[in-house]
Amino acid sequence: MKNDINSKTILSVFEFIQKHGEQTNDGKHYQGLTAFSDFDGYTVYLTGSGVMMRYGFHNTYHLDYEHDKQKHDFLSKVEQIHKLATQ
Question: How does pLDDT run across 15-56, given as a tens digit for each residue?
Answer: 999 999 999 999 999 999 999 999 888 999 999 999 999 999
* Domain residue ranges in the chain: 5-75
Which residue would you say has higher pLDDT here, 81 or 1? 81
Phi-psi region of 3 (alpha: psi -120 to 50; beta: other; left: phi over 0): left
Q: What is the pLDDT of residue 26?
A: 93
